[in-house]
Chain A
Amino acid sequence: MPDVWRAMLLWLTLSLAAGSAQAAGLEFSKVTITLGEDDRIYADVQIQYRLTPAVREALDNGVPLTFVTHVQMRRAGAWLWEKDEAEYRIRSVLRHRPLSGLYEVRNLGTEDHQVFATREAAQRYMGRIRDLAIIERSLLDSTQEYLVRLESYLDVEALPLPLRPQAYFSGEWELEAEPWEWQIRP
């Protein structure tokens, strides 16, 4: 974690009440945007994954679940066709291994691979994104305001094909977090 005392441009924390975490779905429980010593803007994100019974059943029956976290930085008020200043998609696959009884989390971008004895531990690991370097501050216009937007959702298209029609039209499979947005001036 970069030293936030010397170079913090922006520090934001969004902490949501723990009570609301009981409902099924995804949720950004904590998002922190900081300016590091290397003059880069970093994001720390905590996502809570609460799976519906149908999704849990599919997971326990060996169906791999792909979760996508989409991080996007755009000029505030940018037109639809304007290019993003920065954009990342973090794809993580959660699956259950029946032989070992462990839950496996694999990051498709970094090929990072972790196993966990419990599903909750695997979800906690998957929902923790640390020190994600979004962009260098020097690449931004200091007179402009920028919008940081985060989305997280279950990728239905990555499900096995027979499950997809059902997943598209069933609310049980609609797992996505309310988009998180914040406006910053570098």
Chain B
Amino acid sequence: MANPSLNRRRRTDLFATALLVVLLLASLHMMSGAVQRSEALDAWFMPLLAFTVLGLFALVSLVGWNLWQLLRDYRRQAAGSRLNVRLVLMFATLSLVPVGVVYFYSLQFLARGIDGWFDVQVDSAMEDALSLSKVSLDLHKREKLKLTHNLLVSLEDTSQTALALAIGGLRETSGAFEVALFDRKGKVLALSHRNPDVLTPSPPTAHMIQQIQEGKDFVSLVPLRSGMMVVRVMAIDPGPGQLVMQAIYAVPENLSSLTRRVQDAYESYRERAYLRSSIKFSFGLTLSLVLLLGLFGATWGAFYTSRQLVRPIKQIAEATREIAEGRYDVRVPIPRVRDELAFLVDSFNQMTRRISQARNLAEASRRELAAQHRYLETVLGALSSGVMALDASGLIQTANPAVGTILRLPVSFMEGRALKELAQLDSALTQFVDDVCEAMNADTEEGRVEITLYREDGRQVLLCQRSSLQLQEDEAAGNVLVFDDVTELVRAQRDAAWGEVARRLAHEIKNPLTPIQLSAERLRRKYLPRMEAAESDVLDRATNTIVQQVEALKAMVNEFSDYARPSKMEPRPVQLDALVGEVMDLYAGGEHDVSFSRGAEGATIEADPLRLRQVLHNLVKNALESRSEVKTRVWLRTRLVQRRGRQWVDLEVEDDGAGFDPSMIDQVFEPYVTSKKKGTGLGLAIVKRIVGEHGGSIRAENRSEGGARMVISLPLRAPGKPAQDKKNSAEGEEV
């Protein structure tokens, strides 16, 4: 569950947020300095304000994002979300209440403090001081105006020359630093300046000219760039000279200084009074920004702290859910701070580790058991013997596929049923059920019994081994049956016994036959010419009879020998249709009605053609001799079939004869079983043996329209398969 990239991101987020808060604090500190009239920070006020507002917006967005996540988790009922909400609410409330209280009283205090700067009495005093200054200056202005008028009056000669001569004295007398005389049209008549280099008078302003033209004197207090103040007077001569005198007087230094200070103080006070609401707003804004920073900083801190506290609990809750869903390898990262939560997480991890180990052991055992089970199933499935397990009440618990094959019932059909129900499903199994039940009831641990079942296609001999099976000590014992279908084995044993009998019989009989035949022929050669006609006739018939019967006995003995003789196969690729055609050609055009239909053109089998010819002759001969009194028709046909995943060629030999006796049809391939008067009973037995030696099978059946049908199935030769070695040719599939 530990995710290094997630932890790294969390650390980066924490660092970025802390940096943002620190920068905002620094910005607010500098803003506070600017508000307190710090010249260095004055120009930075608005950029700082913009930065602070943007920073706060980022902080608000961060808090909003955290809040949205918290609400989303709460709605989803995510692990730890409820505890997280409670902690956030608690932390936020704890921090917001005191901050809000401090903000409220600070704002009150600030407003009252600023209002305290301005007082009615101070206002009045400032106004009075300014009025006093104005009065003082007005008095000074009036004095200078009067002085200027006196100077004008003192001018007796108004000629330009006289004025030019007199004006210097007037300036010195009056103490002005500039005196100029104009006529009413504004022409300069005379000038005297303290600085002799100044040759032009100070130009009167439009306002001054307008006032003079209106016939009014002008007097004004003019502040200079240097901070010094001067009184500028333009006085009109009431006399006939129509002169206008401009005089500029310096205001005494002490009066100028005092009035300037009064003016500066008044200006400053008035500006502050005007800016009172703006100052309150600025301080309030700064304080509000501090409050917001504290508010959202504390809220974000509440989110962070609650997350830190809840994270291990949340991780444990999630891990518990995963364990409940079966994932035992889950681990919770241990918090860095080694407190009780870390101990809890560590204990939880130990618990999950042990659960995981136990589950792994159980899983290993289960896998081992499953492997053993599969192994057992495979072994039982591969067995040709049927294995059946029954419980104490006789219910079939398990049965391998061979059981189904031997008992000819689906295994799935048998499992879970009582053994006795098998007899109801197939009456042929009644003997099996009775014998097994009898064996199980016997008070022995194990037993062996041979069971013969009588089925429609003949007898089936089963060799059954029973063993007691007890899995639990406190449970009743069940049984395990192992049985084999030994029908073919019994049949083979019988065939072998018959073969041995035939071989010995042929040997014992054949030995005296030749001397008998030679003796009969000698009697015939020696005594027949000498005897009378009547006697010789008797001898002739008697010796002929002996010779013929000896020949017949020889033929019969040879057949016995053939049946008993070990096989000598010489297999090679044979085209069955061609071989059958060749044999049938021998019967064509004769008295026999034999026809052949080719249905497997080109089909090649691995066979000994001589032995196969013998099979064909035996079958055709057998069919032709099926009725002695009526001519029999015989049909042969071949066809290709797909059976058990392999290509076979079927050869059918049919006739319209009498057919097989239904009671003997199961034993027609057994030696010395025949329905014919002259037959030895070995023909079909030899056919079956040869077919078996070729890996094929043969069956006999009656045609529905009358007559018999023999069907031989031979495996097709695999493409590209080399011819079989002679030594292996004798091996074949048992029919």
| A interface residues, how many (CB within 8 angstroms) | 27
Of B35-43, B552-560, B670-678, the one with at least 4 CB within 8 A of chain A? B35-43
Q: Do the beta carbons of B42 and A161 come within 8 Å of each other?
A: yes
Q: In whole angstroms, what is the CA distance A94 to B384 when docked?
A: 122
From A40-48, A68-76, A110-118, A135-143, give the one contacting chain B.
Answer: A110-118
A183 contacts B by Cβ under 8 Å: no
List of B residues within 8 angstroms of A160 by Cβ: 271, 275, 278
Complex interface residues of chain A between 79 and 109 (CB less than 8 A to chain B): 97-100, 102, 104
Q: Which of B40-68 contact A (CB under 8 A)?
A: 42-43, 45-46, 49
- Interchain CA distance A180-B220 in the complex, whole Å: 39
Interface-lining segment among A10-18, A25-33, A57-65: A57-65
**Residue B285 interfacial (CB < 8 Å):** yes
Chain A positions within 8 Å of B266 at CB level: 62, 98-99
Flag whether B259 is at the interface (Cβ < 8 A): yes
- Stretch of B130-138, B454-462, B494-502 with 4 or more beta carbons under 8 angstroms from chain A: B130-138
A117 touches B207 (CB 8 A): yes
Of the candidate stretches B221-229, B396-404, B574-582, B638-646, the one touching chain A is: B221-229
From B46, B221, B275, name the one whose CB has the most chain A CB atoms within 10 angstroms.
Answer: B275
B278 touches A162 (CB 8 A): yes
B42 touches A97 (CB 8 A): no
**Which stretch from A126-134, A145-153, A164-172 is at the chain B interface?**
A164-172
CA distance A165 to B286 in the complex (A): 11
A162 to B36: give the CA distance in the assembly, Å: 10
Q: Residue A7 at the B interface, CB < 8 A?
A: no
How many Å lie between the Cα of A125 and that of B451 in the bound state? 141
A120 to chain B, nearest CB (A): 11
- Residue A78 lies at the interface, judged by CB distance under 8 Å to chain B: no
A165 near B279: Cβ-Cβ < 8 Å: no
Partner of B282, one of A99, A104, A115, A162: A162
B274 in contact with A161 (CB, 8 Å): no
Chain A residues contacting B270 (CB-CB under 8 Å) are 61-62, 98
* A165 close to B271 (CB less than 8 A): no
Which residues on A sit within 8 Å (CB–CB) of B275?
A: 63, 160, 162-163
CB neighbours of B224 from chain A (8 A): 113
Q: How far is the CA of A116 from the CA of B221 in the complex (A)?
A: 11
B259's partner among A58, A61, A99 (CB-CB below 8 A) is A99
CB proximity of A153 to chain B, nearest CB, Å: 15
Choice from B37, B46, B221, B225 contacting A100 with Cβ under 8 Å: B221
Residues of B within 8 A of A100 (CB): 220-223
Q: How far is the CB of A116 from chain B (nearest CB, A)?
A: 8
Q: What CA separation (Å) do A7 and B675 show in the bound complex?
A: 155
* CA A102 to CA B134, docked complex, whole Å: 13
B267 at the interface (CB under 8 A from A): yes
| Complex Cα–Cα for A58 and B270 (A) | 10
A121 partner residues in chain B, CB cutoff 8 A: 206-207
Given contacts A63-B274, A98-B267, A99-B263, contact A113 B285 (CB under 8 A): no
Hey, which chain A residues are within 8 Å of B49, CB to CB? Answer: 165
Closest to A156 in B: B46
- Judge whether B83 is part of the interface by a CB distance below 8 angstroms: no
Decide: A168 and B46 in contact? CB cutoff 8 A. yes
A157 within 8 A of B: yes
The distance in angstroms between the C-alpha atoms of A115 and B221, with both chains bound, is: 10
Residues of B within 8 A of A102 (CB): 220, 222-223
Q: State the Cβ distance, B293 to closest chain A Cβ, in Å.
A: 18
Bitwise interface map of B from 254 to 294 toward A, beta carbon under 8 Å scored 1, else 0: 00000100110011101101110011011001000000000
Cα separation A1 to B220 with both chains bound (whole Å): 32
CB nearest neighbor in A for B276 = A162
- B34 proximal to A (CB < 8 A): yes
B275: nearest residue on chain A (CB-CB)? Answer: A162
Distance to closest chain B CB from A102 (angstroms): 7
* Nearest A residue to B280, CB-CB: A162
Q: How far is the CA of A164 from the CA of B206 in the complex (A)?
A: 36
Known pairs A97-B223, A100-B223; A165 contacts B207 (CB<8 A): no
Contact B130–A98 (Cβ < 8 Å):
yes
CB of B35 within 8 A of CB of A161, answer yes
Contacts of B133 in A (CB 8 A): 99
Please determine whether A166 and B274 come into contact, CB atoms closer than 8 angstroms: no
B222 in complex: contacting residue of A98, A111, A115, A157, CB < 8 Å: A115
With both beta carbons as reference points, the residue of chain A lying nearest to B49 in the complex is identified as A165
Contacts A99-B134, A162-B275, A166-B278: A111 and B259 contacting too (C-beta < 8 A)?
A: no
In the complex, which residue of chain A has the Cβ closest to the Cβ of B263? Answer: A99
Which of B137, B205, B273 is close to A61, meaning CB atoms less than 8 Å apart?
B273
Q: Return chain A residues, CB-CB under 8 Å to B42.
A: 161
Contact A162:B281 (CB < 8 A) given known A98-B270, A99-B133, A157-B46:
yes
In angstroms, Cα B282 to Cα A99, docked, is 29
Checking B206, B225, B263, B278 against A163 with a beta-carbon cut-off of 8 angstroms, the contacting residue is: B278
CB distance from A10 to the nearest CB of B (A): 32
Considering the complex, give the chain A residue whose CB is closest to the CB of B38.
Answer: A161
Among the listed B43, B134, B220, B279, which residue makes an inter-chain contact with A162, where contact means beta carbons less than 8 Å apart? B279
Contacts of A117 in B (CB 8 A): 205, 207, 220
| Chain B proximity of A95: nearest CB distance (Å) | 8
Known: A102-B223, A160-B275, A162-B278. A62 touches B46 (CB 8 A): no
| Complex interface residues of chain B between 227 and 270 (CB less than 8 A to chain A) | 259, 262-263, 266-268, 270
Pairs of residues from A and B, 8 with the lowest C-beta to C-beta distance, nearest first? A61-B274, A162-B278, A99-B263, A113-B225, A62-B271, A162-B282, A62-B267, A162-B279
What would be 11 A-B contacts, judged by CB atoms less than 8 Å apart? A63-B275, A97-B223, A99-B221, A100-B220, A100-B221, A160-B271, A161-B37, A162-B281, A165-B46, A165-B49, A165-B282
Given A104-B223, A111-B225: 19 more A-B contacts, CB < 8 Å: A58-B274, A61-B270, A61-B274, A62-B266, A62-B267, A63-B274, A98-B270, A99-B259, A99-B262, A100-B220, A113-B224, A115-B223, A117-B220, A118-B207, A161-B35, A161-B42, A161-B45, A162-B275, A165-B282
List B residues at the A interface (Cβ < 8 Å). Answer: 34-35, 37, 42-43, 45-46, 49, 130, 133-134, 137, 205-207, 220-225, 259, 262-263, 266-268, 270-271, 273-275, 278-279, 281-282, 285
